[in-house]
Amino acid sequence: MNLPLFLARGVAKGGSQSISRTIIGIAVAAVAISMAVMVLASALISGFKSEISAKIFGFWGHIHITEEQAASDIMLTSEFPISNRQEFYPGLADLGPIEYRDFTDPLGGNGGELRTTQAGVKHIQQFILLPGIISSFQEGERLADTEPLILKGIAEDFGWDDFGQYLVEGEPLNVVPDSTSRDILISNSTARRLRIGVGDRVDFVYFSGLREEKNRAFTVRGIYKTGLEEYDSKFAIVDIKQLRRLLNWQDDQVGGFEVILEDIDDLDAFSDYIHYDVLPQHLYADSIRNKLRELFNWLDIQDYNGIIILILVVLVAIINMMTALLILILERTNMIGTLKALGQHNWGIRKIFLYYAGFIVVVGLLLGNGLGLGLAWVQKTYGVVQLDEESYYLAVAPIKLEWLTILGLNVGTFCVTLLFLVLPSYLVTKIDPVKAIRFK
């Protein structure tokens, strides 16, 4: 029989009638609120990173394959075309999970554990980027509004499943091999600034030299909105064949390829594998994380914010539990003295109160999980908390529940809290049984 556990149950049952029940209630509430905050914070941070990453990858893909000379700046792809007649295209889309090592020795030797990626390549598509100036027309007259814009040329292999969700008006481009579309997709911010909509005409001017300029007229077929204002305001989407004509490229030439993966966690592994084991020497593969390093560094900072929040709320729970445990010990001084007089050793008595504290923490964790998950469900279902989309790239605070993370938070909070409670339980050793029983 586990005597400390048995006595802890008795103390817990009797505690509801003692003067300490208010303190116990506060301790339970502190643990519950702390757990709810941790669940919400982890869900919000995971959701925020997931939604922003999905928007970036939906527009850019995960890995870019370009001419090596254009690797440093994706806008240089318009100066260094490559052929789409490559051994890896389009067969790379069928590449499944690969084996890789998590560390490569700088001298060329492989080290680390041999691992396998979670999934494979989902899709590969061609693209061309071309900067120029766009102006709008209404009722046959050119408006004074003009602004710089980058046209992204897409082919018939473009993945509308990833990007189509961002269309807010109109239809996707109809890009087919046998004809050239004169339609264009513009962003919501570009349409607002140029005061145009679906069906209106825009004129694009590309300067191929100091004095030479080339014009193309397009009809707005659709309007998209990713929420990434920094990129929405700079890009529009057209048929890739239009850009080939403006650049005087051959029918098989493209600026590069975008590779979309099935699992973002495989990004680094596939980026290295494609670069070293798939591509010819004159081509270069790089992950979009490296090309947009500042944005992803900003996203990574959110992890540090989350860690700070978790530490603060756990400290609040620990301080409240330590206070509650001290009060419990002082309230049960007579019981402690009696147990010592009966021969119970200090550690056995300390375990009684640690078990009792464990009951309190478990109740707080259960209530906190219920509260946190409930609030997360409300936010995910109804979008109660709204955000400034221009500042946060999202209109609604996103929620993504990762059950392993939540389980880890519960187990970690329970273990860390009990570990810190060992210190106040040391007060038991300072109680003299003779004095404790005398003043009963």
Which pLDDT tens digit goes with each residue over 360-388?
889 999 999 999 999 999 999 998 888 88
Note every long-range contact of 327-333, with CB atoms under 8 Å and residues 24 or more positions apart, other chains counting. 327/20, 327/23, 328/11, 328/15, 328/20, 328/23, 328/24, 328/353, 328/356, 328/357, 329/353, 329/424, 329/425, 329/427, 329/428, 329/431, 330/427, 331/18, 331/19, 331/20, 332/11, 333/431, 333/436
pLDDT at 345: 74
Strands 141-154 and 235-239: parallel
Residues in a beta bridge with 239: 154
Handedness of CA 201, 164, 291, 297 (dihedral sign): positive
Query: What is the average pLDDT across 14-23?
Result: 61
| CA within 13 Å, CB half, 385 | 13
Task: Please give the structure tokens belonging to residue 427.
Answer: 């007060």
- pLDDT confidence of 7, banded at 50, 70, 90? low
pLDDT at 420: 86
Higher pLDDT, 309 or 241: 241
Which pLDDT tens digit goes with each residue over 214-256?
888 999 999 998 888 778 888 999 999 999 999 999 999 999 9
Over 80: is that where the pLDDT of 48 sits? Answer: yes
Over 90: is that where the pLDDT of 112 sits? Answer: no
Cβ-proximal residues to 434 (8 Å cutoff; 6+ apart), any chain? 337
Question: Rounded to the nearest 10 degrees, how much is the dihedral formed by the CA atoms of 118, 121, 123, 124?
Answer: 150
Give the separation between CA 361 and CA 318, rounded to whole angstroms. Answer: 10
Over 60: is that where the pLDDT of 80 sits? Answer: yes
Candidate ranges 138-147, 162-171, 352-361; pick with highest mean pLDDT: 162-171
Query: What is the average pLDDT across 302-329?
Result: 82
How far CA 428 is from CA of 209, 330, 360, 421, 425, in Å, comes to 86, 9, 19, 12, 6
Counting residues of the chain whose pLDDT is more than 90, the rounded percentage is 29
Per the CB < 8 A criterion, the answer to whether 148 and 132 are in contact is yes
Over 70: is that where the pLDDT of 108 sits? Answer: no
pLDDT at 92: 92
Per the CB < 8 A criterion, the answer to whether 254 and 157 are in contact is no
Over 80: is that where the pLDDT of 58 sits? Answer: no
Which pLDDT tens digit goes with each residue over 252-304?
999 999 999 988 888 889 999 999 999 998 899 998 888 777 777 777 777 78
- pLDDT confidence of 435, banded at 50, 70, 90? low
pLDDT at 140: 53
Higher pLDDT, 151 or 326: 151
Query: What is the average pLDDT across 183-201?
Result: 90
Report which of 269, 139, 127, 149 is spatially closest to residue 201, judged by C-alpha positions. Answer: 139
Q: Whole-model pTM?
A: 0.74
Strands 99-104 and 110-116: antiparallel
Whole-number average pLDDT of the chain: 82
Higher pLDDT, 128 or 102: 128
Report which of 65, 247, 83, 70 is spatially closest to residue 153, judged by C-alpha positions. Answer: 247
Residues in a beta bridge with 63: 259, 287
How far CA 196 is from CA of 136, 168, 184, 192, 231, in Å, comes to 7, 14, 12, 7, 19
